[in-house]
């Protein structure tokens, strides 16, 4: 897989992606989103099948809010620094409905995903729902953030 893939239905996705979407949806139960009412969950699978979940955590001081993806990524970065991330799925629903709604990783989370990709020297697949209920699967984080800032800029 060297390019992004589109899926008109969740049923068309591979079983691992479907599993991660299911787990990401479960993770939204721990979302703390009293302000946006936008509940986000992330599920990450590592190279030994360890599963790490995250949910968005908001704060009355809005800039302190943290995305579900980074809650999961920083958690695994601490708990399992030697393991590699294979794939991450991100889902969201509004407080008023359990139906999933489109939610793409924000720019900050894309930057963090790129960093983890460089750190582990292996690609990370990313799955999320985009507009019109279409599911997208990207083969790596670089594709979601071309020309990103990296350690080469600090070291050169």
Q: Is 46 helix (H, G, I), strand (E, B) or coil?
A: strand
Catalytic residue list contains 26: no
Least Cβ distance, residue 42 to Zn ion (angstroms): 9
Distance, CA of 124 to CA of 85 (rounded, Å): 6
| Residue number, 14 or 74, with CB nearest to Zn ion | 74
Question: Which residue, judged by CB position, is nearest to Zn ion in the bound state?
Answer: 67
Distance, CA of 12 to CA of 141 (rounded, Å): 22
Catalytic residue among 12, 16, 69, 117: 69
Q: Closest by alpha carbon to 86, among 126, 118, 55, 115?
A: 126
Least Cβ distance, residue 75 to Zn ion (angstroms): 14
Single out the residue of 67, 72, 88, 127 in contact with Zn ion (rule: CB under 5 A): 67
Distance, CA of 111 to CA of 150 (rounded, Å): 9
Least Cβ distance, residue 116 to Zn ion (angstroms): 13
Single out the residue of 51, 104, 106, 133 in contact with Zn ion (rule: CB under 5 A): 106
Which residue ranges make up the site for Zn ion (CB under 5 A)? 67, 106, 109
């Amino acid at each position: 897989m060297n390019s992004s893939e589109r899926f008109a239905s969740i049923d068309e996705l591979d079983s691992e992606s479907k599993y991660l979407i299911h787990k990401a949806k479960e993770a939204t139960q721990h979302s703390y989103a009293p302000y946006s009412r936008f509940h986000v969950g992330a599920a990450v699978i590592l190279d030994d099948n360890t599963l790490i979940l995250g949910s968005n955590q908001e704060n009355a001081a809005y800039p302190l809010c943290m995305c579900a993806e980074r809650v999961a990524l920083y958690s695994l970065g601490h708990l399992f620094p030697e393991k590699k991330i294979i794939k991450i799925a991100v889902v969201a629903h509004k407080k008023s409905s359990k139906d999933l709604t489109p939610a793409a990783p924000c720019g900050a989370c894309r930057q963090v995903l790129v960093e983890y990709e460089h750190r582990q020297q292996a690609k990370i697949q990313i799955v999320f729902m985009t507009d019109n209920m279409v599911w997208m699967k990207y083969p790596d984080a670089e594709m979601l953030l071309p020309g990103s800032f990296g350690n080469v800029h600090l070291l050169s």
